[in-house]
Amino acid sequence: MANEAMTRPAPGAAVYAQLAGMVLFWGANWPLMKTALADIGPLTFCTLRFAGAAAVLALLSSVLRFPLLPQRGERWPLAIIGLLQVAGMLDLSAIGLRVVPPGRAAVLAYTMQMWALPLGVLLAGERFTKWRVAGALLTFAGVLVFFNPALLDWSDTQVLLGNGLLLACAVSWALGATLYRRHGRWQTSFWTQTFWMIAVSAVVTAPLALGTEHARPIHWTPALSTVLAFNWLVATGLCYWWWAKSLTAMPASQAGQIACLVPITALLLSAAFLGEPLTAGVLIAVALIGAGIVTTMRA
């Protein structure tokens, strides 16, 4: 691995530009989704999001030359991981996003690294290290600040539930990531894995949406159509392509540190365009969680 790192060429300006675009688009997607959820149920939105993204990736498969089916023996593991990392994470976050401001929602979702530490020790045989523990403690301190009575109305059941669902989405994401690492080396290509996880998530989320939101009409506004198209073409197809290209040019840990800017971007854009308040308490919580995420990634 050391020789590989020494021979890897330094990332060019184009790679950093692509990562910057990915951070901007993924960050912007949180306030955009918040806007779209005024016209559609959260699970129905996720179903359409997954189905459209899977269709885009299926079309790209002929260009990028990847199969749609994973290797035999890896289909069920990838399906389970996809249900945790994609369906569980995004379904829960969409439901929580209905009552939680998008900047706060994104920051809570990205506490995944904190939950990944104990899960990795329990399920994947990983060890506690001082830097990973320090990162988890910083993140946990930020969560405590976020949940203090000055920033959260503890008498509002819906707000408490929404924030709880966003923490649950982070746990689901962390569990999926832990199981993914536990498996070890995968034979299925990155693009096939991505398509398979999204397609399985669409198949499972669709009946849940039908069962719980069948009485809720969809208001096909230009805003909703634009957000869905953005999720299909940009937030999924383009951004995942940029992410894959960045991983060929730099270590995953370095790219991951840059991706940690996504919730900060979401918070700033939500404050600028949706009026989400940036109080001292919010900024302290974000600073602690951001420091925790970066510390964990560096470890």
The rounded Cα 248 to chain-centroid distance in angstroms is 21
List the Cα angle 274/280/285 in 5-degree steps.
85
Residue 270: pLDDT over 50: yes
| For range 262-288, the mean pLDDT | 95
> What's the pLDDT at 5?
44
Torsion of the alpha carbons at 25, 296, 252 and 264, rounded to the nearest 10: 10
Residue 3: pLDDT over 70: no
> For 202-257, how does the pLDDT look when each residue is reduced to its tens digit (9 = 90+)?
999 999 999 999 999 999 999 999 999 999 999 988 999 998 888 778 776 677 77
Predicted TM-score (pTM) above 0.75: yes
Decide if 102 contacts 197 (C-beta within 8 A). Answer: no
**3-class SS of residue 31:** helix
Q: What is the DSSP-derived secondary structure letter of residue 100?
A: S
| For range 39-43, the mean pLDDT | 98
**Cα–Cα distance between 235 and 28 in angstroms, integer?**
9
**Cα–Cα distance between 225 and 40 in angstroms, integer?**
11
**Cα–Cα distance between 106 and 101 in angstroms, integer?**
9
**Cα–Cα distance between 296 and 256 in angstroms, integer?**
10
Q: Pull the structure tokens for residue 26.
A: 């993924």
64-67 long-range contacts, CB within 8 A, separation 24+ = 64/191, 66/189, 66/191, 66/192, 66/195, 67/189, 67/192
> For 63-87, how does the pLDDT look when each residue is reduced to its tens digit (9 = 90+)?
989 999 999 999 999 999 999 999 9
> What's the pLDDT at 253?
67
Domain ranges of the chain: 19-298
